[in-house]
Chains A and B, each alone.
Chain A
Amino acid sequence: MKILAIDTACDETSAAVTENTTILSNIIWSQASLHAKWGGILPSLAQREHLKRIDWVVKKALDTSHQSLTSDIDAIAVTVGPCLAIAGEVGIAKAKELAKKYDKPLVAVNHIEGHVLSPLAQPRTENPKFEIRNSKLTIRFPALGLVISGGHTDLILIKEIGQYKLLAQTRDDALGEALDKAARMLGLGYPGGAILEKMAQHGNPNSYPLPIPMSGREKEGYFSYSGLKTAMWKIVEAEKKKGKELLTKKQIENLAASFQNTAFEHLTRVISSIIHNSSFVIHDLLVGGGVSNNIEIRKRLRKMAKQFGIKVCLPYTKKLCSDNAAMIDVAAYFKSKEGKFVKNIAKVERLPRSKIGETFPWEI
């Protein structure tokens, strides 16, 4: 089954081709890469940017994979939500157009399901390093899915692929957003989550007393980062005053380490509490989303999971962590196996608040 997938959920314009779960191409066009590596610049007019790039990205995905839309591709897949409405529209319109023009079945995919299943994507070339990891990659259900990104902090119960239940989400800021904002407070630009991680490596995580969010109330099953953000803001302002409005490199490193430490501690505490109190035996934890690139969070999730005898499964490459179309392909592959195609293409529209596991009206 060869599927061409399109994802324009937010900032990135992406298209990919996979054969079952094997990636043949995964093209991501982000505003950040246009403005060199300095990921600070975000899409001005997301929709206009997506419109400008979508054709190029789709063509590149087909060319790189050496597949022809007419003769090789079996189906087209597209993210329908959750998304920034005006951005999502662009991908949906393109997918509908291609499905009609080339008479291919269409699969509508929830973006979060893509992130959850991203650890199942496999590389095209036989990468020996991956084989070792992949040999263990038979997911046993029920499993947990964790999506940590700039827009989401979702813990999901995966009864089996296609059957999900949201167990916990953030009640205010997403984890990635909190990290980006902390970086901004430290003068590391925006989005600075990745630089924050770099700074934190040299800092002492216990140098500033930041409160762990919802401490003692983990059972409530929520993530919350806005209180921590406020506490951080106060400490940064106080530290700035000490040094005539300027922070030293050491201060930045220590603050970065302290913030990460507290933010991650909260995450693992809530997940632990949920696993501990759940009535199922969880076998695996699938992790996706941009923040799962962070080495420290990987370490901590593995450590936490070990206590419960749970295996942590991460995407084989960093590219699969942030928004990309290959993960949409993987989700679409599993949906296509179940026959969950779009019955009426005209009915497909963006669902900005789409929830994982929901049945789309056009699939009935």
Chain B
Amino acid sequence: MKIIKENKQSVDQIVNVLKDGGLVIFLSGVCYNAGIDATNPTAVKKLVKYKNRPFGKPFSIGVKNLPMAKEYAEMNKTAINLYKSFYPGPLTIVCQGRHKVAPGIESELGTLGIFVTDHQLTTDIVSRLGKPVTTTSANASYQPRPFSLENLFKNLSKKQMALIDLAVDSGKVPEREASTVIDTALEDLAILRQGKVKLKNKNEILSRSEDNTQNLGKELWQKYENYLGKRPLIFALEGPMGAGKTQFTKGLGRAMGISDEIISPTFNLVLEYKSVKSDVELNHIDAWRLQNPEELEGLGLIKMLEEKKMVIAIEWAERVTEAIRKHRDEATIIWVKIAYGKKDNERLISWGVL
């Protein structure tokens, strides 16, 4: 390992080492950083070894500006907005990657972390190299972040020291918080949106309150209750945040004879309830956190559909349209759309059997 002091020539030296697939320790926007050429697969393997962590744990990359970020990641509106409003950082924006970096940099799901900084040395290196570099703190996993070289070397093993090709000393810097990490990759609901459901023989009402919406849940239960027993019943609930999907399910559940408080299933993904009046059951599912439609079955949908006395309410149904629609033969599916009305409390609710 070679150690140099940061000066005007250091950028050239760093870039030369990076070009050869080397590992360089230099100061980034937050602390001392372990940098490699993020497009070089051999260098990535070296870095994984150095960081002492399992392959598959992703690394964020440093870029020189927004156009360069766009070259390596699909920056959606939120990502661009964050880049602009949080510049000069430090901030890490997670986006859908374009798979232009070496394997191991992006996550298993293909997302890529873009490190936003105006730190001169980092941007100089990236500009001169013409490629992104990794921006991961130079400590090994589970060790403190280093704010001086001395403090870094103290916590490194001999093996790790041997992996460093060049270390650039910029002195001791004040301790700073790690950069904020914001994931924007989930922002694109469009990824999951699978084509719109058109309702034939559509019914429609205007709800003026949460109570109205709950009441509709009750009425639809009474209307479709006798379908149950032959086949399970699915209420597919579509509508934006805060539209009243959980309110609808509350009314439905109460009418079914469920005495437990019905709450939002967003966190738990599935909440199960049993009626105290009869042998019917309710499974309340939330598709909001699902990343692909197949996961609906991963939540146990198939098993639920084997129960003839089962009612399944699925919130954010529009995210998993096909995954629901394909069970048309096994279950009676009632599609319920809730939209905001003109006035604050108003909701336009339409429904029909799929």
Contact = CB atoms under 8 A, between A and B. Distances in A.
Nearest to A230: B242
Contacts of B271: 352-353
Interface in B248-297: 260-261, 263-264, 266-273, 289-292, 295
Interface string A188-220: 111010010010000000000000000000000
Given A10-B267, A41-B109, A189 B186 contact: yes
A44 B183 contact: no
Contact of B81 (A48, A86, A247): A247
Interface stretch (B1-9, B53-61, B192-200): B53-61
Interface string B234-254: 000000111100110000000
A171 B272 CA distance: 16
Give the interface size bracket for B toward A: 35 or more
A309 interface: no
Interface in B98-145: 107-109, 111, 113
A233 B183 contact: no
Given A245-B77, A247-B81, A353-B273, A181 B267 contact: no
- State the main secondary structure of chain A at its contact with B: loop
Contact of A44 (B60, B182, B263, B292): B292
Contacts of B180: 195, 198
Given A185-B241, A189-B184, A246-B77, A35 B267 contact: no
Contact of A173 (B178, B263, B272): B263
Contacts of B242: 226, 229-230, 233
B82 interface: yes
Interface residues of A, number: 56
Contact of A192 (B57, B108, B182, B268): B182
A233 B270 CA distance: 24
Interface in A131-178: 149-151, 169-174, 176-177
A154 to B, nearest CB: 11
A62 B300 CA distance: 32
B86 interface: yes
B267 A246 contact: no
Contacts of B272: 85, 352-353
Contacts of A346: none
Contacts of A176: 267
Contacts of B247: 172, 226
B107 A84 contact: no
A347 interface: no
Contacts of B111: 35, 38, 41
28 contacts: A10-B268, A36-B60, A38-B111, A38-B181, A39-B181, A39-B183, A40-B94, A40-B185, A41-B111, A44-B290, A44-B292, A44-B298, A46-B298, A82-B268, A86-B270, A151-B267, A170-B261, A173-B263, A174-B264, A187-B187, A189-B182, A189-B183, A198-B180, A226-B242, A230-B242, A230-B243, A249-B85, A352-B272
